[in-house]
Amino acid sequence: MADFSCPQCGAPLAAGTTSCKFCGEAIQQASAQPQPQAQAVAPTVIVQQVPVQAQMPMGDPEINPYWPVKNKMVAGLLGIFLGAFGIHKFYMGKAGAGILYLLFCWTAIPGIVGLIEGIMYLCASDRDFQIKNHVKIG
């Protein structure tokens, strides 16, 4: 009758055996008590992760709720009064265009374009302003 099992392969061993006949593992007989045949195994819990989708507020689906908040009136007035220096472009988050306006501010071209853009900002509807410039009105 098998009282012990091999610690390497788990094969049943007779009492007094010094090596496993299946895997060749050396067996040390430290205690006279037999090893338990089955060890308790903790139950495995599987958790299924469901992706959480961002809840977009009800409204216009073309307007992203995560766009930066800008004021249409401020953008228009900056374009009219300081458009020659590109301040309205910096305010709208377009630093590259603002730098170009600064580089060519010694000519009259950025001033004229800034005046026209400021008027266009003020005359555009709120929805068109938001979609064209990728901002939210705050």
- pLDDT tens for each residue of 84-137: 999 999 999 999 999 999 999 999 999 999 999 999 999 999 999 999 999 999
Average pLDDT, the chain: 83
Pair 79, 28 in one domain: no
Print the domain residue range for 13. Answer: 1-35
Residue 112 placed within a domain: yes
Q: How far is CA 79 from CA 53, 69, 83, 85, 93, in A?
A: 38, 17, 4, 9, 13
Taking 80 as the threshold, does the pLDDT of residue 38 lie above it? no
Kind plus residue range of the DSSP H or E element containing 111: helix 109-123
Cα 125 to chain centroid, rounded: 33
pTM value surpassing 0.75? no
With cut-offs at 50, 70 and 90, classify the pLDDT of residue 34.
low
Residue 91 placed within a domain: yes
Pair 30, 87 in one domain: no
- Cα within 13 Å of Cα(14), Cβ side: 4
Residue 56 placed within a domain: no
Mean pLDDT computed over 16-30: 74
Pair 30, 78 in one domain: no
| In the chain, % of residues over pLDDT 70 | 78
Q: Are 71 and 80 in contact (CB under 8 A)?
A: no
Residue 2: predicted pLDDT: 46
Residue 129: predicted pLDDT: 96
Pair 75, 121 in one domain: yes
Residue 79: predicted pLDDT: 97
Residue 89 placed within a domain: yes
| Structural domain total, the chain | 2
Residue 48: predicted pLDDT: 65
Pair 80, 131 in one domain: yes
